[in-house]
């Protein structure tokens, strides 16, 4: 196990990364002094990992309430959030009852927002079970829900007490979800870590094969990058915006196609290629760097062509981005591989060229279809080793 720290003075917290951590009561118990917790999960993750966690806590004298939500990005909304509040109220959960998020980024973001707002704030613990959540969403305290008009538009900054990333849970993750997580891993290389980008070029096949050592390295390195950025700029007044590379385009794809049609990581991948294309049109990077970026996403099995929502729709949706200042869209763009900047200087004609060059008509009414079912045989595998 490796432990990193997100340095935020008296709100600093550890990220524990390793295999089999869901069996380690010692990592959770210090954060559960009142011997009560509410675990929030979903209908896919709960059958896999809830019972062992409940048992572990019960054997250590901790009572748990389970709140099981429907699975999917389309449920990351106010209505589902209401289900969490209702369960907490009905069960008379008090200010000292921590909420534990057990699942991917959707569960983590919603549980975090519930923790930030229930009784004006209760303790919060992250147990991320997707690669994307282990490398990105569980760290840094961004919590929230989607609005029909815009992605993640309602939320709060609210840090967890601890993040427990059990790499063994990734064995049951569908391939398409693993690849979606790799999109956010590549992001760190592109925005601030050229040696990591080079490592990914050399080790992509190991990651896709779920080689434990490669996964551990990629998760630790990603979390190191994220912890450094969040420690320096928790509330995104500067450097943290770089973590949104590809997200201005990507969020427009997710909202425009309907939440859940494109996975977040898939939309980020196609959006990152749009950001790279725009950077090239500004003459900040060359065609060789765009091609190198595209190749890495392609090797990860990620989409590099965006759906053609139409330029007007992209413009409308991107106008709701959280980075918009004074009505002006600000993009995260590349100065080189390993160096990103935030810029409001993209001329309208170049943006239009990017939108028409990077979007494909034949995907306009389709979806990036995928299975959310765990990979067959892998459930039993996890339970054999860790059950
Ligand atoms: P997700 O939470 O929808 O999980 C993906 C799918 O995998 C779901 O069907 C889930 O039930 C299933 N799953 C989870 N763990 C599993 C496991 N171990 N085995 C089998 N199936 C498993 O998606 P995600 O990619 O984890 O997260 C995407 C969300 O995270 C988006 O809503 C995005 O906006 C958000 N996000 C937030 C931040 C942040 O800083 N807060 C950063 C990046 C992304
Ligand atoms: N995922 C973007 C951020 O945490 O800032």
31 has pLDDT over 90: yes
Compute, in angstroms, the gap from residue 379 CA to the centroid of ligand 1: 18
Do β-strands 339-343 and 331-336 pair in parallel, antiparallel, or remain unpaired? antiparallel
pLDDT at position 114, please? 98
Give the model confidence (pLDDT) of 265-281 as tens digits.
999 999 999 999 999 99
Alpha helices, DSSP H only, in 69-120? 78-90, 105-117
Which bound ligand lies closest to the C-alpha atom of 138? Answer: 1
Ligand nearest to the CA of residue 152, numbered in listed order:
1
Mean pLDDT of 115-136: 98
Q: Which atom of ligand 1 is nearest to the CA of 372?
A: 9
Instruction: Please confirm, yes or no, whether 184 is among the known catalytic residues.
Output: yes
The radius of gyration of the chain from alpha carbons, rounded to an integer in Å, stands at: 20
How far is Cα 250 from Cα 248, in angstroms, rounded to an integer? 5
- Domains and their CATH numbers in the chain: 2-172 (3.40.50.1970), 175-382 (1.20.1090.10)
The residue with tokens 């975090």 is 112
Per-residue pLDDT tens for 57-89? 999 999 999 999 999 999 999 999 999 999 999
**Mean pLDDT of the 240-254 span:** 96
Helix H or strand E encompassing 52: helix 46-59
What is the reported pTM?
Answer: 0.93
328 phi, psi to nearest 5 deg:
-100, 130
Mutation test of ligand 2: which of 128, 140, 271 has the most ligand atoms closer than 8 Å to its C-beta?
140
Instruction: Order across the sheet with 2-6: list the strands.
Output: 2-6, 13-18, 162-166, 124-128, 99-103, 36-42, 63-69
Residue in 177, 184, 266, 289 annotated catalytic: 184
Q: Pick from 284, 273, 260, 269: which is nearest to 347 by CA?
A: 284
- Taking every pair of Cα atoms in the chain, the longest distance, rounded to a whole number of angstroms, is 63
Is the pLDDT at 181 greater than 60, yes or no?
yes
């Amino acid at each position: 196990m490796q432990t990193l720290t997100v340095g935020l003075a008296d709100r600093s917290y550890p990220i524990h990364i390793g295999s089999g951590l869901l069996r380690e009561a010692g990592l959770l118990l210090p954060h559960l002094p009142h011997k009560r917790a509410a675990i929030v999960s979903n209908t896919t993750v709960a059958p896999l990992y809830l019972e062992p966690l409940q048992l572990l806590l019960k054997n250590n004298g901790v009572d748990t309430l389970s709140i099981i939500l429907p699975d999917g990005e389309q449920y990351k909304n106010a209505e589902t959030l209401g289900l969490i509040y209702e369960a907490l109220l009905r069960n008379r959960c008090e200010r000292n009852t921590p909420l534990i998020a057990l699942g991917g980024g959707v569960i983590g973001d919603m549980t975090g927002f519930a923790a930030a707002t229930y009784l004006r704030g209760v303790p919060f613990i992250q147990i991320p079970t997707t690669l994307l959540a282990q490398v990105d969403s569980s760290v840094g305290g961004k919590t929230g829900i989607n609005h029909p008009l815009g992605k993640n538009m309602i939320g709060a900054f609210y840090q967890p007490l601890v993040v427990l990333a059990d790499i063994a849970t990734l064995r049951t993750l569908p391939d398409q979800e693993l690849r979606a997580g790799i999109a956010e891993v590549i992001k760190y290389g592109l925005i601030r870590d050229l040696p990591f980008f080079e490592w990914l070029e050399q080790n992509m096949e190991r990651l896709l094969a779920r080689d434990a050592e490669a996964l551990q390295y990629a998760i630790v390195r990603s979390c190191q990058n994220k912890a450094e950025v969040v420690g320096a700029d928790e509330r995104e007044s500067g450097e943290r915006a770089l973590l949104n590379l590809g997200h201005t385009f990507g969020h427009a794809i997710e909202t425009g196609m309907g939440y859940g049609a494109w996975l977040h990581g898939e939309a980020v991948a196609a959006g990152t290629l749009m950001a790279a294309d725009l950077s090239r049109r500004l003459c900040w990077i060359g065609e060789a760097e765009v091609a190198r970026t595209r190749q890495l996403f392609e090797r990860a099995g990620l989409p590099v062509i965006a759906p053609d929502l139409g330029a007007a729709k992209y413009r409308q949706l991107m106008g709701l981005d959280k980075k918009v200042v004074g009505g002006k869209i600000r993009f995260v763009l590349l100065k080189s591989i390993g160096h990103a900047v935030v810029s409001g200087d993209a001329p309208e004609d170049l943006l239009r060229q990017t939108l028409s060059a990077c979007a494909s008509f034949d995907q306009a009414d389709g979806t990036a279809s995928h299975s959310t079912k765990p990979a067959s045989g892998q459930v039993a595998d996890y339970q054999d080793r860790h059950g």
